[in-house]
Amino acid sequence: MTFDRSIKIAPSILSADFANFGKECEAIEAEGCDWVHVDVMDGHFVPNITFGPATCAAIRPHIKGVMDVHLMIEPVDPYIDAFAKAGADVITAHVEASTHIHRTLQAIRGAGAKAGIALNPATPASSIEYLLDMIDLVCVMTVNPGFGGQKFIHSQVDKVAQLRAMIGDRPIHIEIDGGVTPETAPLVAGAGADVLVAGSAVFKGGSVNNTAPYGNNIRAIRTAAEAVAS
């Protein structure tokens, strides 16, 4: 997994057909996605329950590229090794979910994964100022975490720009999660984001038996973002 700031589209399998996860992962990669984003929710840190390490291990053989695992769980530390062993390339933890987030990031890297940190909409960019040399990715939540299909929170565009300035020339991805569409993608790409997580905006209109819409949707988001990428 080499670093670059080109636009990367990371469909969230939260919007995929749960009965066909393996085929869905293969389909979105065949249709041009860059990463596969796995939203892990625990019904505690967020008001929903989704997947665990076993699901990640089951879909890993169906993913050729990056498996990007976003842990919306609390506590985080006891589960890091399990997700790393399940094949996660990137493991992202929420700054709000860990009392000792520095230790959590150390544990993620120690488990052999890239370390990501996620910020809820109300959490300021400054909260990670002293963690920048410990992370490989910062995920800006542009919705409140817990459910797919929510509307984009526009105040987060300024946060992206602040993070981009803070990061400087460090090899850190800025990921956007929530409400990404061809209309909102240029806003965050122009502010400095390079990884765009999209769920319903990628999977709408398609299925494992009709994957062409996935490709059309991915290209629409990518084209809109690349037109303004900084």
Give the catalytic positions in this structure: 39, 177
How deeply is 4 buried, as exposed, middle or buried, from its count of CB atoms within 10 A (0-12, 13-18, 19+)? exposed
- The DSSP code for 48 is -
Gap between the Cα atoms of 201 and 90, Å rounded: 22
Alpha helices by DSSP H, listed for 71-120, are 80-85, 101-110
Burial of 118 (0-12, 13-18, 19+ CB in 10 A): buried
Which DSSP letter does residue 114 get?
A: E
Phi, psi dihedrals of residue 202, rounded to the nearest 5°: -90, -45
Q: Which residue has the tokens 């249709």?
A: 31
Query: Residues 105, 135: contact at Cβ < 8 Å?
Result: yes
Q: Is the dihedral of CA 18, 199, 213, 33 positive or negative?
A: negative
